[in-house]
Structure 1
Amino acid sequence: MNKRFRVPGRLNTKLEELGVRVSDVLRRAGLSQDLFQQTRILLSTEEFFALWRSIGEVSGDPAISLRLATETRPERFDPLGIAVLSTENFGTAISHMARYKKLCCPEEIVQHTDKAEWSIQFNWLLALGIEPPTLTEHCFAWVQTIGRLGTGTNISPLRVEFMQPRSHSKVIERHFGCSVISGATRNAIVFRAADAQAPFVTRNAELLDMLAPQFDQELKQLRQGEEDQENFPERVRGAIQEKLTGHRPSIDDIARRLHMSSRTLQRRLQESGSSFQRVLDEARHQMARYYLSSSVLELNEAAYLLGYEDANSFVRAFRTWEGVPPGLWRESYRTKAMSQEKVIQ
Structure 2
Amino acid sequence: MNAPFADRIKIAPGFWTSLKGIGVEPIDVARKACLPLTIITEPVVTTAQYYSIWLAYSELVGDIATGIVKLAAAYKTTQYPPAALATFHARNYRDALNRMARYKQLCPPENLRIQEEGELYSIELEWQHAELSGPPVLVGITLAYLLELGRRGTGRFLKAHSVEFINYMGDVQALEGYFGCRVRTGTERNQLTLNREDLDRPFTSYNEELLEILTPSLDRTLEERQSQLTMSTKVQWILSRCLTQGKIDIHSVASELGMSERTLQRRLTEEGGSFKQLLAKTRREMAVAYLADPALEIKEVAFLIGYEDQNSFYRAFRAWTGETPANWRVTQDNWRSMLVTE
Which deviations, in whole Å up to 9, do the C-alpha atoms of 1:183-223 show, x marking residues without a partner?
11111111123333232222222211110001011112212
Residue in structure 1 matched with residue 193 of structure 2 by the alignment = 190
Residue in structure 2 matched with residue 24 of structure 1 by the alignment = 28
Residue in structure 2 matched with residue 155 of structure 1 by the alignment = 158
Q: Which amino acid aligns with 1:51?
A: I
What is the alpha-carbon distance in structure 1 between the residues aligned to residue 251 and residue 307 of structure 2? Answer: 26
Question: Measured at CA, do residues 71 and 83 of structure 1 come closer, stay the same or move farther in structure 2, by a change above 3 Å?
Answer: farther
Q: RMSD between aligned alpha carbons?
A: 3.7
Specify which of 198, 207, 210 is matched with residue 207 of structure 1: 210
Specify which of 118, 123, 126 is matched with residue 120 of structure 1: 123
Question: The residue matched to 1:84 in structure 2 has which SS?
Answer: helix
Residue in structure 1 matched with residue 147 of structure 2 by the alignment = 144
Which deviations, in whole Å up to 9, do the C-alpha atoms of 1:128-148 show, x marking residues without a partner?
344222111111111111010
Superposed, 1:51-90 pairs within 5 Å as 51-61=53-63, 62-71=65-74, 73-90=76-93
Which deviations, in whole Å up to 9, do the C-alpha atoms of 1:115-165 show, x marking residues without a partner?
132111222212534422211111111111101011111111012111112
Question: The residue matched to 1:101 in structure 2 has which SS?
Answer: helix
Report the CA distance between 1:53 and its aligned residue.
0.6
What is the alpha-carbon distance in structure 2 between the residues aligned to residue 241 and residue 34 of structure 1? Answer: 29
What is the alpha-carbon distance in structure 1 between the residues aligned to residue 25 and residue 280 of structure 2? Answer: 44
Question: Measured at CA, do residues 48 and 243 of structure 1 come closer, stay the same or move farther in structure 2, by a change above 3 Å?
Answer: closer
Q: Is the 8 A contact 2:112 2:126 kept in 1?
A: yes
Residue in structure 1 matched with residue 324 of structure 2 by the alignment = none
Residue in structure 2 matched with residue 170 of structure 1 by the alignment = 173
Residue in structure 2 matched with residue 343 of structure 1 by the alignment = none
What is the alpha-carbon distance in structure 2 between the residues aligned to residue 175 and residue 93 of structure 1? Answer: 20
Q: Which amino acid aligns with 1:21?
A: E
What is the alpha-carbon distance in structure 2 between the residues aligned to residue 34 and residue 315 of structure 1? Answer: 35
Stretch deviating more after TM superposition (214-223 or 268-277): 268-277
Stretch deviating more after TM superposition (56-65 or 94-103): 56-65
Q: Is the 8 A contact 2:13 2:79 kept in 1?
A: no
Stretch deviating more after TM superposition (197-206 or 147-156): 197-206
Residue in structure 1 matched with residue 233 of structure 2 by the alignment = 234
Question: The residue matched to 2:37 in structure 1 has which SS?
Answer: coil
Question: Measured at CA, do residues 31 and 250 of structure 1 come closer, stay the same or move farther in structure 2, by a change above 3 Å?
Answer: closer
Give the count of matched residue pairs: 295
Question: Measured at CA, do residues 117 and 259 of structure 1 come closer, stay the same or move farther in structure 2, by a change above 3 Å?
Answer: closer
Residue in structure 2 matched with residue 50 of structure 1 by the alignment = 52
Which deviations, in whole Å up to 9, do the C-alpha atoms of 1:46-84 show, x marking residues without a partner?
111100010011123541222212258532322222210
What is the alpha-carbon distance in structure 1 between the residues aligned to residue 139 and residue 150 of structure 2? Answer: 17
Report the CA distance between 1:243 and its aligned residue.
9.2
Superposed, 1:155-304 pairs within 5 Å as 155-226=158-229, 230=230, 232-238=231-237, 255=254, 258=257, 261-269=260-268, 272-275=272-275, 279=279
The TM-score, its normalising length taken from structure 2, stands at: 0.73
Structure 1 spans left out of the alignment, 5+ residues: 294-302, 307-313, 324-345
What is the alpha-carbon distance in structure 2 between the residues aligned to residue 147 and residue 169 of structure 1? Answer: 22
Residue in structure 2 matched with residue 34 of structure 1 by the alignment = 38
Q: Is the 8 A contact 1:237 1:280 kept in 2?
A: no
Report the CA distance between 1:259 and its aligned residue.
6.3
Question: The residue matched to 1:185 in structure 2 has which SS?
Answer: coil
Q: Is the 8 A contact 2:72 2:141 kept in 1?
A: yes
Q: Which amino acid aligns with 2:70?
A: R
What is the alpha-carbon distance in structure 1 between the residues aligned to residue 172 and residue 54 of structure 2? Answer: 19
Structure 2 spans left out of the alignment, 5+ residues: 294-302, 315-342
Q: Is the 8 A contact 1:4 1:104 kept in 2?
A: no
What is the alpha-carbon distance in structure 1 between the residues aligned to residue 234 and residue 309 of structure 2? Answer: 23
Report the CA distance between 1:247 and its aligned residue.
11
Question: Measured at CA, do residues 12 and 66 of structure 1 come closer, stay the same or move farther in structure 2, by a change above 3 Å?
Answer: same
Report the CA distance between 1:30 and its aligned residue.
1.3
Question: The residue matched to 1:113 in structure 2 has which SS?
Answer: strand
What is the alpha-carbon distance in structure 2 between the residues aligned to residue 195 and residue 88 of structure 1? Answer: 13
Stretch deviating more after TM superposition (272-281 or 115-124): 272-281
What is the alpha-carbon distance in structure 2 between the residues aligned to residue 321 and residue 155 of structure 1? Answer: 53
Question: Measured at CA, do residues 321 and 162 of structure 1 come closer, stay the same or move farther in structure 2, by a change above 3 Å?
Answer: farther
Q: Is the 8 A contact 2:110 2:126 kept in 1?
A: yes
2:3 equivalent to 1:4: no
Question: Measured at CA, do residues 321 and 186 of structure 1 come closer, stay the same or move farther in structure 2, by a change above 3 Å?
Answer: farther
